[in-house]
Amino acid sequence: MSYTMKFELKSQFQIESARFLPKLPSEHPCSRMHGHSFILIFTFHGHLNPETGWVQDYHEISDILKPLLNQLDHHVLNEVPGLTNPTSEMLALWLFERAQKVLPDLVRVTVKETPTTECSFPI
């Protein structure tokens, strides 16, 4: 059996956060303080470890990401350093830049701010 092809793993988390988008006109609903139950999906590409039979331990991924997610969960995103304009795009970028340093197999972060909208970085 060949292990040259990669697998794709996804780990999903939910955080509750408040935000407002300061660059929008005051009549836009997102310019006011409001909350989201953000779904965050972290996608990894990696090779199978023939010893363990997996690419990476999901529990390990959770443990590594926890300190990062704790900075966002039940916080006002605008008050988090680097997120003064916390659009979903900026949130995906913020998460990818930090998570990729500790999880090098990370290839994408997807932010779902509602069940019908989502944003991914990078593609």
Task: Please list the active-site residues.
Answer: 30, 74, 113
Cα–Cα distances (Å) from 45 to 6, 8, 19, 22, 61, in that order, read 6, 5, 31, 35, 13
Smallest distance, Å, CB 30 to Zn ion? 5
Nearer to Zn ion, 91 or 106 (CB): 91
Residues of the shown chain interacting with Zn ion in the complex, contacts defined by CB under 5 A: 30
Q: Looking up tokens 């909208």, which residue turns up?
A: 117
Smallest distance, Å, CB 19 to Zn ion? 6
Nearer to Zn ion, 30 or 64 (CB): 30
Nearer to Zn ion, 30 or 80 (CB): 30
Residues 7 and 48 sit within 8 Å (Cβ to Cβ)? yes
Smallest distance, Å, CB 113 to Zn ion? 6
> Which residue has the CB atom at the shortest distance from Zn ion?
30
What whole-number distance in Å separates Cα of residue 78 and Cα of residue 4?
Answer: 43
Cα–Cα distances (Å) from 17 to 37, 79, 101, 112, in that order, read 7, 11, 23, 12
